[in-house]
Structure 1
Amino acid sequence: MALRRLHILLEGHAEDTVVRNLISPYLESLGWSVSSSLVTTKRPASGPAHKGGITSWRQVEKDIRLLLGNSSLTMLTTMFDYYAFPADAPGMDDRPTASAHRRVEHVERALAERIGDSRFRPHLVLHELESWVFAAADELGQLLGEALSLKLRRDVEAAGGPELVNDGFATAPSKRLAKYCPGYSKPSDGPLAIQDLGLEKLREQCPHLDAWLRTFET
């Protein structure tokens, strides 16, 4: 059986932790050889490149095309937040008036069409990585207190699921966490709670994530 090589292009260090500890082991159990890297956001004339964080589509597209130049790569995917994704990215300015899932799928299709390589399967986390933390409300509560988990569960129930906690500037999942718990640490607390929840239970609550992982199961 030919080796299947998958590369995941990531937005930041929290995503890197979740991929290394949760997603890569699962994909490797399916027979994938998984590698990952943070998107390069600045390439200075001298000194190291800056990694992580996205402010424009051009930054992302350059990394994608460089990675696809590797002919040994079977598939390239991404793990970027849909919340605050660059407005100049394909599909962002003509999103349909529809459900959040339909809107993010529209952007993902537009990204794939722009790149034009069948090996590229873009994925945007709906609405951001902190949505998965909301799915792990009980696990986060064990780290930071039951009062916090109660607030997260309340928001999830009101929205209809963790992926549907909205993307308003002041009400996105990350903004809510910062308000509810000023001491919350995105690089450590969130990934740890997600890992404690486990991938199976996370997928049960997050259908967009589940659909992305199914891509690699077929």
Structure 2
Amino acid sequence: MIRVNVLCEGPTEEQFVNKVLYPHFIDQGIILTARSLDGGFSYGRLKHQIIQWLNNDQGAYVTTLVDLYGMNSKYPGYASSQNLDAQNKVNTIEAEVKADILGSDNLHNRKFIPNVQLHEFEALLFSDPEKMEEWLSLNHTISTDTFKTIRDAFDSPEHINDSPHTAPSKRILAIVPAYDKIIEGIIIAQEIGLSNIRAACPHFDAFCTTLENLAPSSNP
């Protein structure tokens, strides 16, 4: 079995790994172990945690499930990518973070796979706005097609932008102030299904494919 340790933005992403990603990847011969960073962390803390986990568990890969939303110029590649579109911005940050980690002194495990979410976990829920409305309407009053209108204004869920007022999570909270991302967000993700999320979110799909390609059956 291949083991992959996942450093997560917060408890929602940790639950997403455990409840949505884990069942799929265990069937591929890949065991995912998630750890929450509890949000609000600096790049320095993220880097420290990545290197620590790489060195302490040298038989496993380490990857990340952290948001582009909320990053700043302390992240390698962030400042130089500001004039790029979101996809190329993320590609640049991932590449430079990887170079920074692998260039660290006293690193004894180089099996690091960087992953930055476009723009945050809630973007994945917009893969199926009808499911969002169906489940959130059980406990909240929502106008018909509210989430679909948002989704249809962008090329993909991952393009929904990341300002403090219009990031995916902020849009949901503007409609459903009592939205519980850990409980409701994970239920919605489970109901949408991993395959549907991947079909709607190319960057996330590429990340999943990278992990799948680690499986023993994929190696020569």
1:159 aligns with 2:151: no
CA shift in 2, pair 1:203/1:68, >3 Å? same
TM-score normalised by L of structure 1: 0.88
Match for 2:127 among 129, 132, 135? 135
Calculate percent identity across the aligned residue pairs: 28
One of 22, 25, 32 as aligned partner of 2:23? 25
Spell out, residue by residue over 1:127-164, the C-alpha distance to the aligned partner (whole angstroms, 9 max, x if none): 00010122232222112228456122111111111100
Please list, as runs of the form range in 1=range in 2, the aligned pairs for 1:115-194 lying within 5 A after superposition. Answer: 115-116=101-102, 118-145=110-137, 147=142, 150-194=145-189
SS at 1:84's partner residue?
A: coil
1:66 is aligned to 2:52: yes
**Could you give the per-residue CA deviations for residues 73-128 of structure 1, whole angstroms, max 9, x where no partner exists?**
33110001111124311111111523211111110111100001641111111000
Which of 64, 67, 74 matches 1:88?
74
Name the structure 2 match of 1:43.
Answer: none
- Counterpart-to-counterpart distance in 2, 1:33 and 1:8: 10
Aligned length: 204
Instruction: Provide the residue aligned with 1:100 in structure 2.
Output: 86
Structure 2 residues without counterparts, runs of 5 or longer = 103-108, 214-220
Distance (Å, rounded) in 2 between the aligned partners of 1:35 and 1:71: 12
Shift of 1:71: 4.7
- Return 197-206 or 178-187, whichever deviates more: 178-187
The amino acid across from 1:83 in the alignment is Y
RMSD: 1.6
Is residue 54–residue 60 contact of structure 1 (8 Å, CA) maintained in 2? no
User: Does residue 200 of the first structure (1) align with residue 192 of the second (2)?
Assistant: no
User: SS of the residue aligned with 2:56?
Assistant: coil
Deviates more, 1:174-183 or 1:131-140: 131-140
Residues of 1 paired with 2:35 and 2:206: CA distance? 22
Q: Tell me by how many angstroms 1:184 deviates.
A: 1.0
Letter in 2 for 1:82: L
Q: How many angstroms apart in 2 are the aligned matches of 1:126 and 1:27? A: 21
If the length of structure 2 is used for normalisation, what is the TM-score?
Answer: 0.87
User: Quick one: distance in 1 between partners of 2:69 and 2:127?
Assistant: 17
Task: Extract structure 1 runs of 4+ deviating beyond 6 A.
Answer: none
| Post-superposition offset of 1:204 | 0.4
Do the aligned partners of 2:129 and 2:151 also contact (CA within 8 Å) in 1? no
Distance 1:200 1:149 in 2: 25
Paired with 1:53 and 1:174, the residues of 2 have a C-alpha distance of 14
What residue number does 1:49 align with?
none
Q: How far 1:24 moved relative to its partner?
A: 1.2
Equivalent pair of 1:132/1:194 in contact (CA under 8 Å): yes
Q: CA deviation at 1:63?
A: 0.5
- The aligned counterpart of 1:77 is 63
When structure 1 is superposed on structure 2, of 137-146 and 127-136 the one drifting more is 137-146
